[in-house]
Amino acid sequence: MIHAHVTSWFLALILFFVTYMLYKKNAGKKSKILHMILRVLYLAILATGGHMLAGYLTDPGIVNQGPIIIKGTLGVVLIGLMEIILVQKKRGESRLLNWVFFWITLLLVLFYGYSVLG
């Protein structure tokens, strides 16, 4: 499950940057198709992450569930930010603050995923 999770968020990140570049270049149809594939990957991330999260939350052996809940929440926020950034780019808008939030959240998710949860 963890491999499916890592594979889907890794592919999603690449697809996110490629789709962003295509929206920037006004490559209408191509960017739309990649954006749709990216949305399917969001579902894969949510399904794999949600499945593991449910497993941890119902495991009586885990005393401190806080970091896992924070990790999952940050993951959902990151997906939301990717979608917001792309939809805004599609409309020709661009907000620096969303990128600031994106990078901070990405760093926090990777920190929680690898360093805190290990």
Sites of contact with ligand HEM (CB under 6 A): 2, 5-6, 9, 12, 45-46, 49-50, 52-53, 56, 68, 71-72, 75-76, 78-79, 109-110, 113-114, 117
Euclidean distance between the first and final Cα of the chain, in Å?
Answer: 15
Q: What is the DSSP letter of 63?
A: S
- Which pair of structure tokens corresponds to residue 21? 């570049």
How far is the C-alpha of 3 from the C-alpha of 9, rounded, in Å?
A: 10
For ligand HEM, which is the closer residue by CB, 14 or 21? 14
* 17 three-class SS: helix
- For residue 92, the minimal CB distance to ligand HEM (Å) is 25
- For residue 49, the minimal CB distance to ligand HEM (Å) is 2
- Which pair of structure tokens corresponds to residue 49? 């992450």
For ligand HEM, which is the closer residue by CB, 9 or 20? 9
